[in-house]
């Protein structure tokens, strides 16, 4: 009799694993060895074993898993050593080239940066001078304009406030 795993059984699984399950299987899937092999790299099988297997089945899973891990380490360790043998000299060459390139970059950049800062400082001084003059001109024009504005608007504002006060009093008394 085939067994199924239902999406509802994955309630504690991480969001990405539940979404992946839905994308691949929908709401449920019939478990088979072939199916498990076909999606072996996609799912967190330790989580599945811990949450979906009975205690005896989990013990069997753990025994097989440990043997698989030992086989993996037998391959991983020499492969890692080979990788480091190739990587270390390549990394040393890269760092040598990178350091030379960085020194060359700084040799060109530093004088260019000094020239830029001189030009920038002159331009900034001119900018400030122009802005200061424009602000002084603005203040000269603004003061009389503000006085005229207040002269025209103040009586209207006073009248508006009276209208509001009367409207409030009438509405309040009418409630």
Which pLDDT value is given to residue 98?
96
Which pLDDT value is given to residue 1?
62
Mean pLDDT of 117-128: 95
SS (H, E, C) the chain: CCCEEEHHHHCCCCHHHHHHHHHHHCCEEECCHHHHHHCCCCCCHHHHHHHHCCHHHHHHHHHHHHHHHHHHHHHHHHHHHHHHHHHHHHHHHHHHHHHHHHHHHHHHHHHHHHHHHHHHHHHHHHHHHHHHHHHHHHHHHHHHHHHHHHHHHHHHHHHHHHHHHHHHHHHHHHC
State the chain's mean pLDDT as an integer: 91
pLDDT at position 165 over 90: no
The rounded distance, in Å, linking the Cα atoms of 6 and 26 is 9
> What pTM does this model have?
0.47
- Token pair 């030379």 is found at 100
Residue 7: burial class (beta carbons within 10 Å; 0-12, 13-18, 19+) = middle
pLDDT at position 166 over 80: no
Between 169 and 65, whose confidence is greater? 65
pLDDT in tens, 55-114: 999 899 999 999 999 999 999 999 999 999 999 999 999 999 999 999 999 999 999 999
**Inter-residue contact 17 to 47 (CB < 8 Å):** yes
């Amino acid at each position: 009799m085939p067994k199924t795993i239902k999406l509802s059984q994955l309630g504690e699984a991480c969001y990405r694993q539940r979404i992946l399950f839905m994308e691949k299987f929908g709401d449920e899937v019939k478990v088979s060895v072939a199916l498990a092999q076909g999606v072996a790299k996609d799912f967190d099988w330790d989580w599945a074993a811990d949450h979906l297997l009975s205690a005896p089945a989990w013990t069997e899973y753990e025994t097989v898993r440990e043997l698989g891990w030992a086989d993996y380490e037998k391959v991983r360790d020499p492969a890692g050593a080979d990788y480091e043998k190739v990587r270390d000299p390549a990394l040393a060459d890269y760092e040598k080239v990178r350091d030379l390139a960085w020194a060359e970059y700084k040799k060109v950049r530093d004088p260019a940066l000094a020239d830029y800062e001189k030009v920038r400082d002159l331009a900034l001084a001119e900018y400030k001078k122009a802005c200061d003059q424009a602000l002084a001109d603005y203040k000269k024009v603004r003061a009389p304009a503000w006085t005229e504005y207040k002269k025209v608007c103040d009586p209207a504002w006073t009248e508006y406030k009276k209208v509001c006060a009367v409207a409030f009093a009438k509405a309040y008394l009418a409630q």
